[in-house]
């Protein structure tokens, strides 16, 4: 196994579609806000990256994708494309958590931070959140991806004493403003295929890859919508 692999990575967990190539430690990324158009834009974006670098899928050592949590449809697209490409080219797959990628991006933006919480809007007054730490160059998951209610999220994060919190949950839930003095707010920060590629490189070097059949999205939530009664109750409560 080479320590300087070529990896293809992509992410469709949000309204942004992104793809990246990691060539050794160099990472090049393309991204585009596509709304629900990931299935139309992802493969052309990948083809354009390969053409830009004069590479083919056969030149890649593995294929990485944003496994979630995020948009259920987006996660299924990313996983299916990764499996299809990997099966066709006889490659291994590296699923990378989207909250981990967001925390990785936060560590890049704030090199002095040692502990970061990632929290993103999961709709239905809930957020996906997780906590990560960087120690002696290692990237460690302290609290795995979980689902938290808006009213509980601040306390859930606070118990981990992060230096910073990254993600759009900071804008989605006014309840978090009461914790502003406790940690730096990085609400505008987003992560995409480049961060996924960087984490996939570490996974590759550690031998953490999967056969295509074993790859799966990380949904965290097992429901995608409220019932009619729940939506009616939510309208009355507001």
Query: 9 has which bridge partners?
Result: 20, 64
Measured distance CA(140)–CA(154) in Å, rounded: 21
Closest to 95 (Cα-Cα) out of 179, 10, 191, 168: 10
Query: Would you state the pLDDT for residue 181?
Result: 75
Domains present along the chain, CATH in parentheses: 6-97+191-214 (3.30.420.40), 99-186 (3.30.420.40)
Query: Would you state the pLDDT for residue 232?
Result: 55
How is 32-86 classified by DSSP, letter by letter? EE-TT-HHHHHHHHHHHHHHHHT--GGG-SEEEEEEESS-HHHHHHHHHHHHHHH
Phi, psi of 152 (to 5 degrees): -100, -15
The CB-side HSE value for 4 (13 A sphere, CA atoms) comes to 4
Query: Would you state the pLDDT for residue 225?
Result: 45
Query: Would you state the pLDDT for residue 236?
Result: 54
**Contact of 147 with 126, CB cutoff 8 Å:** yes
Query: Would you state the pLDDT for residue 233?
Result: 55
Closest to 95 (Cα-Cα) out of 74, 67, 68, 60: 67
Peptide bond into 69 cis (omega under 30): yes
The CB-side HSE value for 148 (13 A sphere, CA atoms) comes to 25
- CA distances to 8, 11, 75, 115, 201 from 60, rounded to whole Å, are 7, 17, 22, 33, 12
Instruction: Identify the segments of the chain with pLDDT beneath 70.
Output: 1-3, 180, 223-238
Query: Would you state the pLDDT for residue 229?
Result: 54
Query: Would you state the pLDDT for residue 2?
Result: 60
Measured distance CA(61)–CA(63) in Å, rounded: 7
* Pairing of the two strands 16-23 and 26-33: antiparallel
């Amino acid at each position: 196994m080479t320590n300087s692999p070529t990896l293809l990575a992509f992410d469709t967990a949000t309204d942004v579609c992104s793809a990246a190539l990691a060539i050794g430690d160099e990472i090049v990324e393309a991204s585009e806000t596509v709304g629900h158009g990931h299935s139309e834009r992802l493969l052309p974006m990948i083809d354009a990256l390969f053409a830009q670098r004069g590479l083919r899928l056969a030149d890649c050592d593995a294929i990485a994708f944003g496994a979630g949590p995020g948009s259920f449809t987006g996660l299924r697209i990313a996983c299916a494309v990764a499996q299809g490409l990997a099966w066709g080219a006889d490659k291994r797959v590296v699923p990378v958590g989207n909250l981990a990628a967001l925390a990785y991006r936060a560590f890049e933006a704030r090199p002095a931070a040692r502990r970061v919480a990632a929290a993103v809007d999961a709709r239905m007054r809930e957020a996906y959140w997780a906590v990560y730490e960087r120690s002696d160059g290692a990237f460690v998951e302290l609290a795995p991806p979980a689902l938290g209610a808006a009213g509980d999220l601040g306390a859930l994060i606070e118990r981990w004493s992060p230096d910073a919190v990254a993600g759009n949950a900071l804008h989605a839930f006014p309840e978090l403003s009461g914790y502003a003095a406790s940690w730096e707010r990085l609400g505008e920060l987003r992560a995409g295929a480049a961060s996924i590629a960087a984490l996939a490189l570490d996974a590759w070097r550690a031998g953490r890859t999967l056969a295509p059949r074993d790859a799966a999205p990380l949904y965290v939530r097992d429901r995608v919508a409220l019932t009619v009664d729940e939506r009616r109750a939510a309208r009355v409560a507001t």
